[in-house]
Amino acid sequence: MSPHLKLACILAAIMVTPSLAAMSLLEAGKASSALALLALHAALGLALLPFLAKAILRFVVYRELEELSVFSARLRRGGLPEPFALPVEAEDEHMLIRLKRNLNWMLHLLEDREKRLLWRLEETDKMRRDMEDLSRRDPLTGLGNRRAFEDALARTGSEAFPERHLLLIDCDKFKQVNDAHGHQAGDEVLLVLAGILQDSVREGVDQAFRLGGDEFAALLCCRELQARDVAERIRMRFRDVNGRGSTLSLGLTSVRSASEPGGAAFETVVARADAALYAAKGSGGDRVSVG
């Protein structure tokens, strides 16, 4: 039963019942008895008013608050899965003051736990993003891996660039470098190439990838003549600085979305760039071929 309904029942019993009884006596012609009953009711009401007020307050309000106070004490004792460290209570302290302090302290603790939970969620989300980023990066060079390359190629149809070109890159004589100087020397050659690619692409516009082994790729958002210039600069710089006699074969082709007029599927685009790459290798390497 709600406190409001409890109070209504008590007031009805105290105030309405004597009035009804007096009305019954008046109807029966016993006016003097009715007046005596009303006078007695008024006298008793005045005499017992402080006690009645306390009783009503206890029954209607304090009883509900007592349950909250007991709940607070249970929290302090660790009666729930995660206890609250509530402040120490004085035995002679008024229940309302005690309850108010306990509830304020609980609110403070809940706010603190909420902040810590939000911080942990942010940390977890950051770790998830970092792990996702790591899963899309080549561990040796730091460039995007094959998964990142495929995702980027699949998104090219939605990017607002007038022209896009795919550049596939393969190291010539890379096996000879590994055989003659060891795998560490081979890794150094790959790192040199990765650094040249990072310097040659524009951050936030172009992208560079290591597809595996000595195979690399770049997505260039520019016209064909500019893409050829970029490919030639990569080829010549690598030849001059790698220090192991390795060169590059590069295959360049235009990337067009399948939704565009004359567009081809992305697998066809990769196959076309791959064919251009092997045409360059077949011609002796150290060259750029356009497909």
**Positions marked catalytic:** 214
**Cβ burial 135-171 (10 Å sphere, 16+ → b, else e):** ebbbeebebbbeebbeebbeebeeeeeeebbbbbbbb
Beta carbons of 258 and 264 less than 8 angstroms apart: yes
45, two tokens? 């009401």
Residues in the chain, total: 291
Angle at 238 between CA 166 and CA 285, to 5 degrees: 70
- Listing DSSP states for 154-202 in one string gives HHGGGS--S-EEEEEEEEETHHHHHHHH-HHHHHHHHHHHHHHHHHHSP
Residue with tokens 């996702």: 132
The rounded distance, in Å, linking the Cα atoms of 228 and 190 is 22
DSSP 144: B
Q: How far apart are CA 273 and CA 164, in angstroms?
A: 13
Q: Which of 189, 234, 237, 174 is nearest to 208 (CA)?
A: 234
User: For residue 24, is it left (φ>0), alpha (ψ between -120 and 50) or beta?
Assistant: alpha
